[in-house]
Structure 1
Amino acid sequence: MVKRIAALLLSAAVLTAAAGCNYEELAQRSDSDYGSRQANDPKMLGGKSYGPMSTNPHQHDNSFFEYSSVISRKVTDLNGVASAIVMLTDKNAYVGLMLDWSAVGTRNSGRLREQDNTGTNEGVYNHDTGSPYGNSRALVSPYNSYFSVNDINDLSDELKQTVALKVRELAPAAQEVHISANMELVNYFNHFAKEAWGGRSLMPWIDQFNTVVKYHFAGGKEMPPPITQPGTYSPSESQMDR
């Protein structure tokens, strides 16, 4: 009996030690830690899965795009992601993210937060002006909103890799996966998604979509007008009959 108890205690000690040894690796593999950034980090093994994969100058000249509710939900389920909007094209997958800071290290650098949510404590929308009114066109805004990251280079590489692998798992034909948490990009994607939810074709918006993704992911010179301002956007007239 004594030997059996001793054996059980020894086994427990070994398991505890093993768990302690593997804790760091388990944390690095989880979607709760995007900030370890160590050599041979398990999230980054196997090659980069996001961003440019070719030098094709026409990589973002998409001929169609569609909203993927399935992949959007799967990416939204990741820790650190408040919501995701995923668009698939004939070439690529594009992901717009809103963050909730529920995971560690979602940013590489830059300002800690681009949103001011202190108005919620005062019963107002805009803390600076005291206005109680928000912008119905904006999914992400500077006030009382989930969080954005203006520069894609400020998003954790581990977060982008995790998102890209999830997208490629469900859309293996995607040549490239491009990911951003930029406020304007997410608001554009939200508008496109609303069109899809309403059962309307996205083809009238293909020119605007390509302008948006080229500007944000390929250094495009044409800057899309802010979609959150009334009267600044509409489908291309040349596309309306498609």
Structure 2
Amino acid sequence: MMRNMRQIFALCFILMLLVAGCSSEVERYTKKYDKSDYGSLQAKQTQKGKMISFGTNHIDDNQHINNSVQFSKKISTALSSIAGVADARVFLTDKNAYVAVVLDNTGRGYAKSNKYITQDTSTDSNIAPNTITNNPFKNFISVNDNTQLTDPFKQTIADKVFELAPEVEEVHTSANIKFMFYMDEFAKVAWSNESIDTYLKQFNILVQHQFANGMIMPTSLNDYRNK
């Protein structure tokens, strides 16, 4: 009888842990609507006079030639709590942080104009799969032109990254949906406990194309690995 009671108690304890873990993950994707408006006058005034610490586009230099790269689950999770960010993939290199995000309606004003905001449910199947791993959203809000992300939005993301990774020189953020699919492929490599450095050349091609007008088109990492 006592043994049975212990087994029941142990089972209940395990179930409680599982429920708690699920609840925290669900809460990550069920944020309440936030009144944060990155395009508001107040947001712009808050940024006025503050040193801009996120990365700018670098043309024909070595800022995006990285020597190492690793996925940061900690920062990716932290950014998903920011108003307007549905999910994030964050990679740290020897000098930069690269952030890919999909957006949601828990924030607003992340684009300089609504005409730059799009909702996607798919992308070119020859480039990347049309799902994002571990992301429960069927519709993705994106701003595919990086220059149209507002400075307060990029600064908010950069501030969180610098808080958790102060050694980073620059933070480069994109809400381009295809870029997010690419970055998700690199995240899968990390989740399988494989070194992303193995694919550093492909990673550099991707970020140079996204942030420095690189002329070489990135290809699906999944296709590259299967060759």
Superposition TM-score, scaled by structure 1 size: 0.68
Distance across 1 between alignment mates of 2:150 and 2:44: 16
Aligned twin of 1:201: 195
Q: 2:61 aligns with which of 57, 63, 83?
A: 57
Aligned twin of 2:25: none
Structure 1 residues 220 and 116, CA gap change in structure 2 (3 angstroms): closer
How far does residue 212 in structure 1 lie from its aligned partner after superposition?
0.5
Aligned twin of 2:143: 149
Q: 1:139 aligns with which of 129, 132, 138?
A: 132
Distance across 2 between alignment mates of 1:31 and 1:46: 22
How far does residue 183 in structure 1 lie from its aligned partner after superposition?
1.3
SS of structure 1 residue aligned to 2:147: helix
SS of structure 1 residue aligned to 2:92: strand
Aligned twin of 2:16: none
Distance across 1 between alignment mates of 2:99 and 2:211: 11
Q: 2:101 aligns with which of 91, 97, 100?
A: 97
Distance across 2 between alignment mates of 1:77 and 1:190: 18
Distance across 1 between alignment mates of 2:166 and 2:35: 21
Question: Is residue 181 from structure 1 mapped to residue 175 from structure 2 by the alignment?
Answer: yes
Distance across 2 between alignment mates of 1:173 and 1:159: 21
Q: 1:47 aligns with which of 31, 44, 51?
A: 51
Q: 1:114 aligns with which of 99, 113, 118?
A: 118
Question: Radius of gyration: which is bigger?
Answer: 1
Question: Is residue 223 from structure 1 mapped to residue 213 from structure 2 by the alignment?
Answer: no
Structure (1 or 2) with the greater helix fraction? 2
SS of structure 2 residue aligned to 1:41: helix
Aligned twin of 1:210: 204
Instruction: Give CA deviations for 1:95-133 in whole Å, capped at 9, x if unaligned.
Output: 00110022121111263542256xxxxxxx99xxxxxxx
Distance across 1 between alignment mates of 2:55 and 2:48: 14
Tell me how large the CA RMSD over aligned residues is.
Answer: 3.0
Distance across 2 between alignment mates of 1:43 and 1:182: 24
Question: Is residue 67 from structure 1 mapped to residue 71 from structure 2 by the alignment?
Answer: yes
Structure 1 residues 212 and 31, CA gap change in structure 2 (3 angstroms): farther
Q: 1:86 aligns with which of 90, 101, 104?
A: 90
Distance across 1 between alignment mates of 2:99 and 2:46: 23
Equivalent positions of 1:6-45 (< 5 A) are 32-37=36-41, 41-45=45-49
Question: Is residue 233 from structure 1 mapped to residue 227 from structure 2 by the alignment?
Answer: no
Distance across 2 between alignment mates of 1:40 and 1:34: 8
Q: How many residues align?
A: 187
How far does residue 31 in structure 1 lie from its aligned partner after superposition?
7.3
SS of structure 1 residue aligned to 2:224: coil
How far does residue 44 in structure 1 lie from its aligned partner after superposition?
4.6
Distance across 1 between alignment mates of 2:175 and 2:43: 26
How far does residue 162 in structure 1 lie from its aligned partner after superposition?
0.4
Distance across 2 between alignment mates of 1:56 and 1:113: 29
More RCO (CA 8 Å, sep 6+): 2
- With 214-223 and 108-117 compared, the bigger mean Cα shift is at 108-117
Instruction: Give CA deviations for 1:119-167 in whole Å, capped at 9, x if unaligned.
Output: xxxxxx99xxxxxxxx855329xx9422111110121211101000110
Superposition TM-score, scaled by structure 2 size: 0.72
Identity across matched positions, percent:
39
